[in-house]
Amino acid sequence: MISLDGVSVSFGDVSVLENISLSVEAGEFVGLVGPNGAGKTTVLRTLNGVLGADSGRITVAGKQVGECSAKELSQAVATVPQNTHVGFSFTAEQIVEMGRTPHRSRLDWSDDIGPVEEAMAQTDTLSLRDRAVDSLSGGERQRVLLARALAQNPAVLLLDEPTASLDINHQIQVLELVTDVVGGERTAIAAIHDLDLAARFCDRLVLLADGGIRAEGSPEAVLSSLALDEAFGIETAISENPVTGTPAVSAIHDRPTQSRRVHVVGGGPGATVAIRTLWRAGYEVTLGVVPAGDVSASLAAQLGIPTVTAPAFTEPGPAVQQEAARLSEAADVVVITDGPGATYNADSTTAKQVYADLGGAGPRMARVDGGDQSVVTTPSELRETINTVLES
């Protein structure tokens, strides 16, 4: 349906896209992701003929972009712009009717209300038809612009940051609308900067950075690839959205690196708070023994933390205990939190120990280095205490 073959685009001397090749099948919903300035919008503007490519071949819906007229291309390709400021107060219906322009002759002024109403019904904008478009909210305007694109009856729908200025409710609404209208012979490409939304709604993601394609494939594959971290120049952690089951990306900013090791004993919510706190502070964290499937174990997996697990509701075997002991002995500090794993090896002797209760309403007890007692009940207290222990 869409193919780019060795396409390069530049603005003056600045190269924006370099030798991009991409092909999209009919009925696919492809998300373009990548950092600001990666060239996502440029790809869309090249596909709809607004920008001319310096080299390469672009074919959309059987038409070669650059060879056919704007009118011919716009009968097959519709664009939902990122932000349209409409001068003068056109009504929503007039805006949607402009979507019919590619299909009408210049002198045919008769009404073409059928496709307009159909597009407005699809996007739930019929109730806005007589409202001035500059009086609509961002979400309403985005739906009207989507209706305008649908009125073009396009084979290919291009969306430039369709959710950029919307609240979470409208983000979901708009993208669900897009997935509803895509399929069969209708294909969509959207530039989306929200990685979680892209992963949730798109069939396939294309990661762009510095004018080139860095990764391409299923949302899980693209988001968990190292290319993502390189493209954004930041460490990311992938988890699973508990509701939708789609990947969710968290960016970690400016994590300092410390050579000290901290071993965490105990699982459950308390341990996850401790792990998160210590990992953010830059320590090399290890964990165990915890029951397999514990929340702390899945967090540790996302952060790439070495973990020793034992099947739930069983005593850990000697091999497992030994492995946990090896980790705790290698650590500079052992943090013992209140949780299911705490009983397994609470009496590790070699490292300095911090008892922390970060999980909830249990007894607030903390013992540092086997002797001093102080209450460690918040992440910041934990950080401070560990600092003190390591300095002494």
Q: Applying CB under 8 A, which residues contact another protein?
A: 45, 48-50, 69-75, 77-79, 81, 84-91, 94-95, 98-99, 101-102, 104, 106-107, 109-111, 152
Q: Which amino acid is at 379?
A: P
Q: Are 334 and 265 in contact (CB under 8 A)?
A: yes
Alpha helices in 129-239 (DSSP H): 138-151, 168-181, 195-201, 219-224, 226-232
Q: Which amino acid is at 131?
A: R
Which tokens hold the place of 286? Answer: 């290890």
Work out how close the CB of 124 gets to another protein at its nearest, in angstroms, rounded to a whole number.
Answer: 22
Q: Please tell me what DSSP assigns to residue 369.
A: T
Is 59 exposed, middle or buried, given 0-12, 13-18 or 19+ CB atoms closer than 10 A?
middle
Give whichever of 100 and 200 is closer to another protein, judged by the CB atom. 100
| Distance, CA of 265 to CA of 274 (rounded, Å) | 10
Give whichever of 186 and 263 is closer to another protein, judged by the CB atom. 186
| Distance, CA of 392 to CA of 383 (rounded, Å) | 15
| Distance, CA of 48 to CA of 51 (rounded, Å) | 8
Mutual angle of helices 138-151 and 113-122, in 10-degree steps: 140
Work out how close the CB of 75 gets to another protein at its nearest, in angstroms, rounded to a whole number.
Answer: 7
Give whichever of 134 and 180 is closer to another protein, judged by the CB atom. 134
Q: Are 346 and 357 in contact (CB under 8 A)?
A: no
Work out how close the CB of 193 gets to another protein at its nearest, in angstroms, rounded to a whole number.
Answer: 19
Half-sphere exposure (Cβ direction) of 244: Cα atoms closer than 13 Å: 12
Give whichever of 47 and 310 is closer to another protein, judged by the CB atom. 47
Strand order in the sheet with 307-310: 307-310, 284-291, 261-265, 333-337, 352-356, 367-368, 372-373
Q: Are 3 and 53 in contact (CB under 8 A)?
A: no
For residue 186, give the nearest of 77, 33, 42, 41 by alpha carbon: 77
Give whichever of 118 and 230 is closer to another protein, judged by the CB atom. 118
Work out how close the CB of 190 gets to another protein at its nearest, in angstroms, rounded to a whole number.
Answer: 15
Distances (CA, A) of 305 to 230, 233, 342: 20, 21, 18
Work out how close the CB of 267 gets to another protein at its nearest, in angstroms, rounded to a whole number.
Answer: 55
Work out how close the CB of 39 gets to another protein at its nearest, in angstroms, rounded to a whole number.
Answer: 16
Query: For tokens 């029951």, what's the residue?
Result: 291
Work out how close the CB of 300 gets to another protein at its nearest, in angstroms, rounded to a whole number.
Answer: 48
Give whichever of 109 and 313 is closer to another protein, judged by the CB atom. 109
Give whichever of 50 and 319 is closer to another protein, judged by the CB atom. 50
Give whichever of 59 and 101 is closer to another protein, judged by the CB atom. 101
Q: Are 192 and 161 in contact (CB under 8 A)?
A: yes
Work out how close the CB of 108 gets to another protein at its nearest, in angstroms, rounded to a whole number.
Answer: 9
Work out how close the CB of 294 gets to another protein at its nearest, in angstroms, rounded to a whole number.
Answer: 52
Work out how close the CB of 104 gets to another protein at its nearest, in angstroms, rounded to a whole number.
Answer: 7
Which tokens hold the place of 133? Answer: 């478009």
Give whichever of 99 and 359 is closer to another protein, judged by the CB atom. 99
Give whichever of 59 and 94 is closer to another protein, judged by the CB atom. 94
For residue 100, give the nearest of 50, 147, 158 by alpha carbon: 147
